[in-house]
Amino acid sequence: MKTKNVFLLIVTVSVFLVACTPFGGGDDFDAKDFDVNDVYYVLNSGDAKSNNSSLTKYDAATGLVEQGLFEKQNGRVLGNTANDIVVYGSKMYISVTGESTIEVVDLCVRSIKQVRCEAQPRYMAVDGGKVYISYYNGHVARLDTATLNVEAKVKVGRNPEQLAVVGNRLYVANSGGLDWNTPVGYDKTVSVIDLLSFEEIKKIDVVLNPNLIIAADKGVFVISVGNYVDVPATLQYINAADDAVSEITEFAGVTEACYNKGVIYGFSWNPSYMSYNIVSRDVDSHWIKEQELPRSPYKLCSAGEYVCVTESDYINDGDVSIYDTDGMLVKKIAVGLNPIKIVKAK
């Protein structure tokens, strides 16, 4: 299609990509030596307890897709149930929940350090030379990017998921997901951590089972996915000035979302695809403009200037559809099993 051809032409003429040295090729690597502005990494969580998480590389300049990159570069598997990946400076950080580890790699995916965690790490947020990690045992840890050591932790709510930094505060979605079938039930709070003291200063009540959290517009947007029966998924906004919570009823039912250029993009499990402009408050009920929609959406993420929908049937290897912010398909690539996130190397 025309948009795909234009995209490939632009990145081909605008970038000269120097390939990373293969595994075992010496210790003189410097991230400044090559341009990675058009390289994307897809984290595939694999099948729970099957030890088959993986990393797929997509080079937009050449159109090449490379599977199993972590294993190729390091001579070992990534592990069981990788859950999140972030790029920060010249490093990438990968949380591997089933292994209770954070894999720290360079931008060629060569291992720098495997950080052991005391509990299952879920999601990460970065700020001020630190990586903040939600532990599923009800804590948030702080990893120093210079020493690559976990230097502190703080107790939050039950089974914390995503987290986001706004100013000198960290907002953490407490899901209580492990208690869904007990009398205690889901959690329904967002913890607020002061980053200077690294202490929880309050909990904010939201709709039950908050999972997703997005920093934008001087606050955070929170999606609580409800109880999958009579409490629907709800988008809420927490104003960081006073921590007041407001529900955005125009965007009800969305269970996965990401943020790009002032717009929240989401989908529900129908599936239907909606977007919400945080300034105009306009809702587009069909933000994907292509006739053929992703049929088995799994996750949504923002990678550079693009919005990406990952697909999974939980059995076979999945796909990632990359869209521009006008909802036009730029590229669709085959990846690994249960693709959970795509990031752009910077």
Strand residue runs (E) in 225-284: 234-239, 245-247, 256-260, 263-268, 272-277, 283-284
Contact 60, 66 (CB under 8 A): no
Amino acid at 141: A
Model pTM score: 0.89
Helix (H, G, I), strand (E, B) or coil at 302: strand
Whole-number Å distance between alpha carbons of 180 and 158: 11
Contact 45, 52 (CB under 8 A): no
Q: What is the pLDDT of residue 25?
A: 33
CA distances from 323 to 125, 132, 148 (A): 24, 29, 35
Structure tokens at 193: 């951590």
Contact 80, 98 (CB under 8 A): yes
303: left (phi over 0), alpha (psi -120 to 50) or beta: beta
Burial-class residue 8 by CB neighbours within 10 Å (0-12, 13-18, 19+): middle
Report the run of H or E that residue 178 belongs to, with start and end: none
Q: Which residues contact 143 (CB under 8 A, 6 or more apart)?
A: 93, 102, 115, 130, 131, 132, 133, 149, 150, 151
- Sheet containing strand 121-127, edge to edge, reads 121-127, 130-135, 139-144, 150-155
Structure tokens at 162: 């995503």
CA-CA-CA-CA dihedral for 286, 210, 163, 115, to nearest 10: -110
Main-chain dihedrals φ then ψ at residue 140, nearest 5 degrees: -120, 130
Q: What is the pLDDT of residue 166?
A: 98
Give, for all 346 residues of the chain, the pLDDT tens digit.
444 443 333 333 333 333 464 333 333 333 333 344 689 999 999 998 899 999 999 999 899 999 999 999 999 999 999 999 999 999 999 999 999 999 999 999 999 999 999 999 999 999 999 999 999 999 999 999 999 999 999 999 999 999 999 999 999 999 999 999 999 999 999 999 999 999 999 999 999 999 999 999 899 999 999 999 999 999 999 999 999 999 999 999 999 999 999 999 999 988 899 999 999 999 999 999 988 899 999 999 999 999 999 999 999 999 999 999 999 999 999 999 999 999 998 6
Amino acid at 116: R
Q: What is the pLDDT of residue 20?
A: 61
